[in-house]
Structure 1
Amino acid sequence: MTVSRKQDRKIRRILSSPLAAQALALRARIVQLAAQGMPGARIARHLGCAVATVRRWRERFRRRGVAGLFDRRRSGRREVHGPSRRLAVVAVATSLPPEGSSVWSRTLIAEHLAQRGLAISPSTVGRVLAEAKVRPHKVRGWLNRADDPVFWTQAGAVCRLYLAPPPGTLMLSVDEKTGIQATSRRHPTVRPRPGRDERREFEYRRHGTVSIVAAMDVATGQVLAERIGRNDSVTFIGFLRRIEQCTDPAVPIHLIMDNGSSHTSRATRAWLQAHPRFTVTYTPKHASWLNMI
């Protein structure tokens, strides 16, 4: 089988992409091994697939090139894209557009993802963005996330934990919330009665601000929270001790949290290292939407 340099580059791009579907990666590997002169039966044994599968994708590549390795569009119900693909669409839409473009369009996002070995139509891109309530042409953010390759690895690790948490492990999403407005209504709420809806006082009193630190059980949604005076390492380590005390000591604890200073300080890292019951996965920078709490 003959593979041109351009086709070889595309195949290598598919195989190196963390977002490529397993089926697509298998097809690309079949073509790559066939181009190296490996017989079909040996390829099948090497990759753990049927000889007929090897023959099918070698023939499809001969007839249609790299494009033939992708699934054809089918009538009927559209393909349901998994979390990793939706994550890829949102990540691209919230990054800086390529040079020469002021904003991301659906077509531009689809083309960008195709270069990474991920085939998604512009219409599907539009549906994913609508579901995520992301509108690239109306973004008013003041901070742009750099296109860091590490982002994909870290974001994928977090998503895999949500979809398939380690058995027997307590998975906790942890974060602080500072500057919460403490308010109360000026008059009590009037409960509903037949023919009249509940009435709630519009005006309220301010009682300053409060800050909290909380941990949410990803599996059950149960939240452990406490009010804090300072958002520092001492406070955070104290909260970790409380988690340790109020949970089954035989159950490992896996924390998902951001890279805040109280989470990554030398003192916090030393405490976590001294307590091997705790494991931590950090969300990527500028991706707070990956933390469930």
Structure 2
Amino acid sequence: MARPLAVLTLSDDERQTLTTWASRPKSTQRLAKRARIVLACAEGLENKQVAARLRVCTATVGTWRRRFVERRLEGLADEPRPGAPRTITDADVERVVTRTLETKPKDATHWSTRGLAREAGLSQSTVGRIWRAFGLKPHKAETFKLSTDPFFVEKVRDVVGLYMSPPERAIVPCVDEKSQVQALDRTQPLLPMTTGQAERHTHDSARNETTSLFAALNVATGEVVGKCHRRHRHQEFLKFLDEIDARVPKGPGVEIHLVLDNYATHKTPAVKRWFLRHPEYHLHFTPTSSSWLNLVERFFAQITEKRIRRGVFRSVAALEAAIREYLERHNASPRPFVWTADADLILKRIKRVCERTSDSGH
């Protein structure tokens, strides 16, 4: 014979509480499911019927029916698990987090796990666990700079609009210069990578001359027009504009929207006259101190990481040859960098930084 079901009846207060647990978004899924099981059992359904409705096993329904009958609402909570009793209290955790965020040691700019452990009377591993749980990393610091350009919002919307929704039959080149690229040679030969051992080179280097890479990134195709010059003046910039003009596709109705930063060589009288002679070019300047808005900076980061930083160049000519080779290979199968953050998202993030800066007390 089957075991008789425990009689389950609910008071009005219990039914209201269970209904709240079952439907409140902030309830844990475990508690919400247990509340739904008890509510279904209170309708007079058998365990198999409740299990089929809620897609759980019959034994689960029986467990929570019995727990509720024996201990009512308290029976739906998780029972304490076996193990050593907790030694770190909530007050200890709060003390560590508060001291990390609001104070500094007298002899340093930031806390270490050992230093804070001595101050708080806890172990170093405990402080480390609390920091990891709350995402605290006092040993790290990042940099930022807010633009003071009075037309910051307008320029952000202008440039980002070109990236995400360019005009019809428009070509959008992002132009900038990677200046003072130095040809670095190592003082001793490299030790190549071997199994279990990374490539090694000397910490010091022999410094040779420098070059400047002028580059124009086509936003739509990812193709890059690049040229190296030993000097970084408006004369070299004019030569590079002629290079862009010779390489950019021409046609009826085609407009060229050039994204530039506010470097002085981009605004000299000679450069302004060049653009007056080429009315098909439309200039879009990024805000001051906002070079991250120029998409060609992403290409500069790529060529630095892949070809320049770990390269060994005995002369500036060797460096320029390596840059030209990289450009040829890049343009053989170019891939565009896709800009995904719209202007509203960028401005909201900057607003949050401004609010945090104004509330920091510095």
The TM-score with structure 2 as length reference comes to 0.38
Larger radius of gyration: 2
